[in-house]
Amino acid sequence: MKTEKRYLLPDDYMADPSAHVFNGKVYIYPSHDWESGVPENDNGDHFNMEDYHVLSTEDIMHGEVKDHGMVLSVKDIPWAGRQLWDCDVAEKDGKYYMYFPLKDKNDIFHIGVAVSDKPEGPFIPQPDPIRGSYSIDVAVFRDDNGSYYMYFGGIWGGQLQRYRDNKAVENPSLPASGEPALPARVARISDDMLQFAEEPHPVVVVDENGKPLTADDPHRFFEASWMHKYNGKYYFSYSTGDTHLLCYAVGDNPYGPFVYQGVILTPVVGWTTHHCILEYKGKWYLFHHDSAPSGGKTWLRSLKVCELQYDENGKITTINGTDE
Ligand code: FUB
């Protein structure tokens, strides 16, 4: 059966959606693709994004999607080098905290924070990135007890291979075939929402026998973490990067381990795949992007959404990335 899908913003290129419900409305925080002219390479230099916009809607599949305009620019971030990649926003006590990966002046990714009184911004950046932060692709999850956790990390251009035990290594490398894959990271966020409250922990995805997925497994973590809770279980979902899937794994707490479950979305048009999952008005949705409207240009992606279905055991029904 075909899944009904919607392009959310046909007039602009945006990608890497993070969506949340604030004050009864859905707010979407994407990265903002544009034709910067930087040639495509494995380092991701062609993802040369310079600002963020915020979108909102009250009817995900059919309603108006409002673009609130530019809410943060690389020009306003004191420590900026280049490349504003996937961001996310969390609300605490009436303030909104935008977390964003950005390369510093030495071309090293860190994660910054910018603050607003409103979900639609504008967001004012802190002078420095989060202490001890590295790599890319931020997702912030608020657990039912009021604790906030940040999931992050991405390999290749996302620089995760440069770190072991949260320290930069001299000779970055990826694990060999058969060795455990590089994991995403998770850290609880401090009470003031501006720092990590602890050293980041590895987010380990294991098979049904408890063995970590290996570096050559087509379902291993690559980038684009997301966390949501369904029927009391913690669903860690992610992109597999060079095998072009969105997959998920389930655990009993925010740190895992998470047991691999299956594919959420098969490959889309374009190299990257990146998503978030949200419940709104009693239905579940998958937001993601593809490059079909730009004719397959990997650096010019368009936001898409469709409904997500679970079976009676909490298994997510796989969605075909290309049926329209
Ligand atoms: O948008 C730049 C990068 O492409 C993101 O950080 C990745 O998740 C991929 O979508």
Residue 4 inside a domain? The answer is no
Instruction: Tell whether the torsion through CA atoms of 140, 19, 274 and 109 is positive or negative.
Output: negative
Q: How many domains does the chain have?
A: 1
Residue 126 inside a domain? The answer is yes
pLDDT per residue over 147-176, tens digit each? Answer: 999 999 999 999 999 999 999 999 999 999
Residue 301 inside a domain? The answer is no
Tokens of 174: 């990826």
Burial class (CB in 10 A: 0-12, 13-18, 19+), 24: exposed
- Kindly give the distance from the C-alpha atom of residue 11 to the centroid of ligand 1, in angstroms, as a whole number: 20
Residue 67 inside a domain? The answer is yes
Q: What is the four-CA torsion angle of 280, 283, 284, 288, rounded to 10 degrees? A: -70
User: Is 16 a catalytic site residue?
Assistant: yes
Strand-pairing partners, residue 100, are: 112
User: Is 208 a catalytic site residue?
Assistant: no
State the closest ligand 1 atom to the C-alpha of 158, by its place in the atom list counted from 1. 6
Residue 25 inside a domain? The answer is yes
Contact criterion met (CB below 8 Å) for 16 and 289? yes
Map tokens 């049926």 to a residue. Answer: 323
pLDDT per residue over 218-262, tens digit each? Answer: 999 999 999 999 999 999 999 999 999 999 999 999 999 999 999
Give dist(CA 98, CA 29) in Å, integer. Answer: 9
Q: What is the best residue among 33, 50, 136, 159 to mutate for testing ligand 1's pocket, by most ligand atoms within 8 Å of CB?
A: 136
CATH number of domain containing 101: 2.115.10.20
Buried-state track 106-143, b at ≥16 Cβ within 10 A, e below 16: eeebbbbbbebebbbbbbebbeebbeebbbbbbbbbbe
- Its pTM surpasses 0.95: yes
Structural domain containing residue 218:
9-223
Residue 42 inside a domain? The answer is yes
Q: Under DSSP, is residue 161 helix (H, G, I), strand (E, B) or coil?
A: helix
CB-based pocket (< 6 A), ligand 1: 15-16, 31, 47, 85-86, 136-137, 154, 223-224, 272, 274
Q: What is the best residue among 13, 14, 16 to mutate for testing ligand 1's pocket, by most ligand atoms within 8 Å of CB?
A: 16
pLDDT per residue over 170-184, tens digit each? Answer: 999 999 999 999 999
Residue 273 inside a domain? The answer is no
Residue 200 inside a domain? The answer is yes
